[in-house]
Amino acid sequence: MDVAFLWELLRAIPAAEAAEGHAEAAKADVFKLSALISDALASGKGEIADALRPLYLDYLEKHDDVPPKGRSAPRPNARPD
């Protein structure tokens, strides 16, 4: 788990909710950790996901060298099978 990205996501959710017109949800997130965590778990869905898309894309661009789960990274100078 990338804790730094999770922290960045948690910090971005209230602003994303406010940008999508959910000011009350954004306000609740600022004051209640449980509301923020609940929103983080659902952050890949709906309008909030659209508002957070730049954050996700930035993360993927910075971490494009990470192999999919269960696969090892290619070794330098390795011959393809």
Q: What is the pLDDT of residues 16-75, one digit of tens each?
A: 888 888 888 777 776 777 777 777 777 777 777 888 888 888 888 887 765 556 655 555
The reported pLDDT for the residue numbered 78 is 52
Could you state, in order of their start, the residue ranges of all structural domains in the chain? 3-62
Count of Cβ atoms closer than 10 Å to residue 20 Cβ: 17
In this prediction the pTM is 0.49
The reported pLDDT for the residue numbered 70 is 60
The reported pLDDT for the residue numbered 22 is 83
Sorted by sequence, the CB contacts under 8 Å of residue 50 that are 6+ apart come out as 20
CA 14 – CA 46 distance, rounded (Å): 15
Supply 39's token pair.
Answer: 């929103």
